[in-house]
Amino acid sequence: MASYIDLFTEFVRLEIEVWNSLDADLQVSAGITLAQFQALSAIRKNAGSARVQDISAELMITVGATSKLVDRLERDGLAVRSANPDDRRSSVINLSASGESALNAADNAAEQHLRTVFGDAISAERAARMINELASLRAHPSAAMIA
């Protein structure tokens, strides 16, 4: 009989293996890391303009870690930080032209890489069911213990 610890262990191992392979692929094919890709995607999800807090919430990492990630995006010319017109205490992060270009290249590269990784093992229909199942697990009342 499988235990929930076994389930957890398999989730974590799979996540690490897929993260590492996708990260390596994105660095070669799009010139950005998976962490940068995730952050740029979070900015785009917020209509191309996000606060550090928005990115932090989307990535489920600390505000401090997000701020350092945004610093690196800005240093690498992928994003631009400017004063928040609605709140002087915060700033907004926008995609730069090169960030937009890198994000588009990374979108295509990531989809192709993940299709290769999962495609033979998981049909598109099964993937959709798995996405719904995982979202349901995350939304379950016991998931509040995680946050």
- pLDDT above 90 (res 139): no
105: left (phi over 0), alpha (psi -120 to 50) or beta: alpha
Give all domains of the chain, ordered by start, each with its CATH number: 19-145 (1.10.10.10)
pLDDT 10s digits, 27-49:
999 999 999 999 999 999 998 78
- Cross-strand partners of 50: 93
- pLDDT above 60 (res 106): yes
Candidates 108, 46, 43; CA nearest to 74 is 43
What is residue 147's predicted lDDT score, i.e. its pLDDT? 57
pLDDT 10s digits, 62-88:
999 999 999 999 999 999 999 888 888
Mean pLDDT of 13-30: 97
How many angstroms separate the CA atoms of 79 and 94, rounded? 5
Mean pLDDT of 131-140: 89
The Cα-based distances of 41 to 9, 84, 96, 126 in angstroms read 27, 20, 13, 24
Mean pLDDT for all residues in the chain = 92
Looking up tokens 């890489």 gives: 113
- pLDDT above 90 (res 97): yes
What is residue 2's predicted lDDT score, i.e. its pLDDT? 80
The answer to whether the CB of 109 falls within 8 A of the CB of 25 is yes
Question: For the purposes of burial, counting CB atoms within 10 Å of the CB of 12, is it exposed (0-12), middle (13-18) or buried (19 or more)?
Answer: exposed
